[in-house]
Structure 1
Amino acid sequence: MSQVYADFDIVFVGGEFDSTHRQVLMSSASQPSYRRDHRFLLACVTAGRLAKANPELHILLVEQGPNNYQEPNVVTPALFLSHQAPGSKTTIFWKGNKSDALNGRSPIVSTGRILGGGSRYTRPSASDFDDWKTEGWRSNDMIPLLRKMETYHLAPGRETHGYEGPLNVSYSDKENFPAVAQAYLEVAQKRGVPLVQDKQDLNTGHGCQRWAKWIDPATGVRQDAAHRYIHPLCNNKRLQVMTATKVVRVLFEGTKATGIEVVADKDTEEDANQTPYIINARKLVVVSAGALGSPVVLQRSGVGEAERLKKLGIQVVSDLPVGSTYEDHNLVLTPYHVPDDTETIDPIMYQDAAFLEEAQAQFAQGKGALATNWIDAGSKLRPTPKELEEIGPAFAPVWKSYFESKPDKPVMLQALSEGWLGPRDILPYKEAHMIIIGNYTGYARHVYITSTDPYTAPDFETGFLDKQADVDVQIWAYKQAREIARRLPQYRGEFAPLHPKFPEDSAARCVKLDGPPDVDNVKDIVYTPEDNKAIEAYLRQFIETTWHSVGTVLMKPREQGGCVDARLNVYGTQNLKVADLSIIPGNVGANTNSTALVTGEKAAVIIAEDLGLKLD
């Protein structure tokens, strides 16, 4: 029998906002860990704003993972990849269904179990917001909130940027701009990609620039929502967090949400006590468990497609298409050899003791190799008319309907990462000098529960490369990235195991150089139909997630397949809202961290209005 644990005004379920490289710190608990200590204050933008507006509000955030306060792997930008290693205990790995489009592979989409977010500063286009066609959520509504949340250190007086917000945006250590990143920008310009002053102004859809980051330029510390919105409120004892806890379902009286049922998280501790606990919510339950977590919590609660729920013996509270519209971006990493003297993240990844000792000393001053994520340059790309013809007819209607009349929308994002990001057992340290150029686009499918057991994996269909248009645009993107790489002075050839297997007599076959290329005389590779087939086969073997899951609990009119209204209320219920990236009705042409943060700011505004509160 469930025990009543406590009563609160507002209960947040999950507490996370989806983002690039979310990070988790696990704890041990045999029962739900109920903490008042500030070290366990894990929360999101929304809860922080509300708690600051009314310190008397009794707010609880329920979180699977524990405290991230001042944890080195969270606050140190260069350590982000430690959370993505296979078998990592700081990450949830969602296994997708096997797909013929991926050569029978089961794609893996990883998410974290903590508040915070990533270090990649990439904002959506204005038209991304406008395409949602939702009152109160258009670009003119969201830009003031984007400004509110940031302190922009790159240049003064930019109209779409803020200068007094909690999250710092900078280049971190200004002087630490690797030569290969500088060369990337020079080559991109020669390839027709203009160098722009502000790639994140919400209007630029084609251009290259040095990559800004969520990093405090004074300290070199990574900026995340927990440290910037919640930990400063550690003296507010009415803002609390329950850690190492899994939410089973939202509880209802009729259609009114009254609280949640939770158990200790077995993924944190295998023998955790599974006695369920009830937490009552006097005013509001806010489901904020992410684009994969929120739909499965709602479905277990009776909010979802009625026929699916009935088959599982779940009483239907509201018949809604929850989980039927999953979207993501996808990533292909193409590595290239570079000489030994190239500045890369490799000494950190390979745990070079002497290098790390010096880097730690520099990081104490807010500088050096640990004060960056080693992703220092990138581009937003739109194809030329000639390239559109080369991409092929399958992509033409997508271009016509989605991109052609909206020049602020990139078709592809490209990033340069200085260093080998793959498993260390593939290459020994001295051979691991790589640059990675990644590209991504978007896909859509579904996530449905298959059991009332919260530990049972869902039916998760990613849709990666199901459509030929997606394949064709990725083929174009591979070629674009490779032509830039071949013109870098540091280029020494492709790392063949992670490139297409071209025919031996193909002009596109991988090479290994002993010295720098003659960059002024490099000619574009002419790809044959057989080469294109090789690239397609490569994509189907290696395409993966970019950790940008969205859109599973859509904010749309109910008659158009929506699950929540413009004020985040779940249709057919009372006192229940959803506030995370599951609500956005269409992915954005960017990494999703900025969109997640501004969604949190908007949710705070909405809830404050509902409660009659005034935000700062």
Structure 2
Amino acid sequence: MALHPTEVDIIFVGGGTSASVAAGRLASANPALEILLVEQGPNNYQDRSVLTPSLFPTQIIPGSGHAIFWKGEESEAVNGREQTVVTGGILGGGSSINLMIYARPASSDFDDWNTPGWSSEDLIPFLQKARLPYLITFVVAYSPFYPTVAKEYLDACITGGIPQIDDLMDLRTGHACGRLAQYIDPLTGYRQDAAHQYIHTQSNNKGLHVLTETLVTRVLFEGTKAVGIEVVRNQGQDPDTNQSDRRIFARKLVVMSAGALGSSTILQRSGIGEASQLSDLSIQIVGDLPGVGKNYEDHPLCLWAYHVSENVETYDPLMEQQPEVMERYQAEFERGKGIFTSNSAGSGSKLRPTSNELKAMGSDFNERWKNYYEVAPDKAVVIQVCVNGFVGPRSPAPEKSRFMMIGNIATYPLSKGQIHITGTDPYLPPKFRTGLLEEQADVEIQKWAYKKARECARRMRSYRGEYAPLHPKFPKDSAAACIRLDGPPPLVEEDLIYTPEDDAAIEVFIRQMSQSTYHSCGTLPMKPEAQGGCVDPRLNVHGTTNLKVADLSILPSNVGSPTYSIALMIGEKAAVLIAEDLGLKLP
């Protein structure tokens, strides 16, 4: 830590996606500006486990050293389980550990925010800025490896009446299928993360500093003016590290960019939040903002596993580390080819229910449909992703078997949660309620999506039946019971019929196996203070000066897509706002 300055112009609290973008933009245009990114995890520079797309599952498991695991409270909505939400704990944040899917939401999502400067017309140029090669070195492309099951999934969707389009992420379409592009370089096969694209390209910039494996305990204030931060070395990275705190000062600005869970809890430790809760913890109040940590949103996920033909090349040998194929995979990857260059998700769909399907989805969801989806045809109810293999712990899966999974991501759940610190110690676990499936309408969405996924699977040539341990426990003799096939499936014309007992079994299993998609957002919403908001349209924290927020916590409401592209967009927008406020240059 002694190698880093004790005073800079701008401090970014967090070294994740949005911070990397904003800091990188500002630093490249203003080399004399001193900028510091403080990241609690390690540096990701040239880390092969980060750069190799197929290794993404290894980044989000305990022991990787690259992720933070936020444990939620037990909830009856998910059968009494504790939900764990994973966020990036490495330079580049989520962009270093995520699934790398190139996804954009509905344009109406931005207009829903009703915030000056943040309409779809305002923001689409920032979405494009992180994609176009002449503006930045990001590459958005299809993976060099296109799985068989991804092709068959699209064929099955088309057979089922779902149209295929060239760009599933066109911001206008709410019901279609298509190939999924990825943030993977088609020449090298490497992951395209924010730190490698915006920060590591400036290794000769003496004004850009990165401090890793360091926790920010709190923001320092003079009155309500942010003047710096207090930090300690991260004991989670090195248990024997010295825990003496150190102060680093900011001449111009402190920018919170530690993610929806990190930024809100750091602000609470700093004295910004609901005053009564902070006073109970003997924290001096800087700003009474009751909205801090509330309005937590995510995307519920259900993953359903299916057997596929033994002749299909899937992720499974890689997940099992089968020695007879690993050497070949590695050799192919050195040429930018093969399964190592794949994120396992080659195709997907955006889905909205038909009028007949709506009738079966119950009054809870139908009310939501009429009030929200019906008037916005660009909004998908579910994003479905076809996964080439059994991605997850291998213990429940038979060895040397072949699988695919279909993931159902609910785009705009009604359920919301909240997070609050339990003390000033940064290592103390917070009180975290994820809110997952607390609203019945969210359960109805997943029940419908399960049936849609299953009908697609049954029409795929490689399908060999459901992997029963990861499907609902249907009543004996149910027509919807799981099957196992020895060869290609017969031609399917009719959909399965589900009884009320079958539907009950589906709901039980959904509550048992639903999980977070790790798309945390909304805990410091960009709204007026009277509406529970925490930041203004220029990202300033209400009631403070020299303090901004630039990460997914600012979202006033959820977006209908994975959130990586939104984090990039926020970084681009933040760079412009900061440059305007400080009179800096920016191309």
Q: Corresponding residue for 2:162? A: 193
Q: Corresponding residue for 2:352? A: 382
1:579 aligns with 2:560: no
Q: Secondary structure at the match of 2:298?
A: strand
Q: Corresponding residue for 1:7? A: 7
Q: Corresponding residue for 2:441? A: 469
Q: Residues 17 and 194 of structure 2 are in contact (CA less than 8 Å); yes or no, is this contact kept in structure 1?
A: no
Q: Residues 563 and 570 of structure 1 are in contact (CA less than 8 Å); yes or no, is this contact kept in structure 2?
A: yes
Q: Distance in 2 between matches of 1:190 and 1:164?
A: 40
1:555 aligns with 2:526: yes
Deviation at 1:472, TM superposition (A): 0.8
Q: Distance in 2 between matches of 1:133 and 1:420?
A: 41
Q: Distance in 2 between matches of 1:513 and 1:485?
A: 13
Q: Distance in 1 between matches of 2:29 and 2:66?
A: 32
Match of 2:322 among 332, 344, 352: 352
Q: Distance in 2 between matches of 1:164 and 1:311?
A: 49
Deviation at 1:489, TM superposition (A): 0.9
1:196-237 per-position Cα deviation (integer Å, ceiling 9, x unaligned): 111111111110001111111121111111011111110011
- Which amino acid in 2 is paired with 1:318? G
Deviation at 1:5, TM superposition (A): 6.5
- Which amino acid in 1 is paired with 2:58? S
Deviation at 1:335, TM superposition (A): 0.1
- Which amino acid in 1 is paired with 2:239? E
Deviation at 1:537, TM superposition (A): 0.4
Q: Corresponding residue for 1:70? A: 46
- Which amino acid in 2 is paired with 1:6? T
1:257-290 per-position Cα deviation (integer Å, ceiling 9, x unaligned): 0100011111111122111100001100001000
Q: Secondary structure at the match of 1:142?
A: helix
Match of 1:590 among 557, 561, 565: 561
Relative to 1, partners in 2 of residues 1:339 and 1:300: Cα closer, same or farther, differing over 3 Å? same
Match of 1:516 among 488, 492, 516: 488
Q: Corresponding residue for 1:134? A: 115
Deviation at 1:86, TM superposition (A): 4.1
Match of 1:372 among 342, 362, 376: 342
Match of 2:249 among 271, 277, 280: 280
- Which amino acid in 1 is paired with 2:53? P
Q: Distance in 2 between matches of 1:438 and 1:87?
A: 25
Q: Distance in 1 between matches of 2:111 and 2:228?
A: 34
Deviation at 1:146, TM superposition (A): 1.3
- Which amino acid in 2 is paired with 1:68? N
Q: Residues 72 and 431 of structure 2 are in contact (CA less than 8 Å); yes or no, is this contact kept in structure 1?
A: yes
Q: Secondary structure at the match of 2:302?
A: strand
1:342-376 per-position Cα deviation (integer Å, ceiling 9, x unaligned): 11111211112232222222222211111111100
Larger displacement relative to structure 2 (571-580 or 364-373): 364-373
Deviation at 1:164, TM superposition (A): 4.3
- Which amino acid in 2 is paired with 1:572? G
1:481-525 per-position Cα deviation (integer Å, ceiling 9, x unaligned): 011111111111111111100011111111111111112x34211
Q: Secondary structure at the match of 2:451?
A: helix
Match of 2:389 among 411, 419, 428: 419
Q: Distance in 1 between matches of 2:32 and 2:471?
A: 57
Q: Secondary structure at the match of 2:560?
A: coil
Deviation at 1:76, TM superposition (A): 1.0
Q: What is the number of equivalent residue pairs in this alignment?
A: 575
- Which amino acid in 2 is paired with 1:206? H
Unaligned runs of 5+ in 2: none
Q: Corresponding residue for 1:451? A: 423
Q: Residues 17 and 290 of structure 1 are in contact (CA less than 8 Å); yes or no, is this contact kept in structure 2?
A: no
Q: Secondary structure at the match of 1:525?
A: coil
Q: Corresponding residue for 1:503? A: 475
Q: Corresponding residue for 1:92? A: 68
Q: Residues 147 and 165 of structure 1 are in contact (CA less than 8 Å); yes or no, is this contact kept in structure 2?
A: no
Q: Corresponding residue for 1:607? A: 578
Q: Distance in 2 between matches of 1:130 and 1:541?
A: 35
Q: Residues 91 and 113 of structure 1 are in contact (CA less than 8 Å); yes or no, is this contact kept in structure 2?
A: yes
Deviation at 1:557, TM superposition (A): 1.1
- Which amino acid in 1 is paired with 2:462? Q
Q: Residues 29 and 586 of structure 2 are in contact (CA less than 8 Å); yes or no, is this contact kept in structure 1?
A: yes
Q: Distance in 2 between matches of 1:314 and 1:497?
A: 48
Match of 2:129 among 144, 148, 169: 148
Q: Secondary structure at the match of 1:11?
A: strand
Q: Secondary structure at the match of 1:44?
A: helix
Q: Secondary structure at the match of 1:66?
A: coil
Deviation at 1:614, TM superposition (A): 2.4
- Which amino acid in 2 is paired with 1:10? I
Aligned-pair Cα RMSD in Å: 1.4
Spell out the pairing of 1:141-540 with structure 2 (5 A cutoff): 141-151=122-132, 164-173=135-144, 176-320=145-289, 321-431=291-401, 433-441=402-410, 442=413, 443-519=415-491, 521-540=492-511
Q: Corresponding residue for 2:59? A: 83
Q: Residues 486 and 522 of structure 1 are in contact (CA less than 8 Å); yes or no, is this contact kept in structure 2?
A: no
Relative to 1, partners in 2 of residues 1:110 and 1:503: Cα closer, same or farther, differing over 3 Å? same
What TM-score does the superposition give when structure 2 sets the normalisation length? 0.96
Q: Secondary structure at the match of 1:452?
A: coil
Unaligned runs of 5+ in 1: 19-42, 152-161
Deviation at 1:15, TM superposition (A): 2.0
Relative to 1, partners in 2 of residues 1:474 and 1:57: Cα closer, same or farther, differing over 3 Å? same
Q: Residues 303 and 408 of structure 2 are in contact (CA less than 8 Å); yes or no, is this contact kept in structure 1?
A: yes
Runs of 4+ in structure 1 over 3 Å off: 162-165
Q: Distance in 2 between matches of 1:397 and 1:87?
A: 44
Q: Distance in 2 between matches of 1:65 and 1:527?
A: 48
Deviation at 1:471, TM superposition (A): 0.7
Q: Corresponding residue for 2:27? A: 51
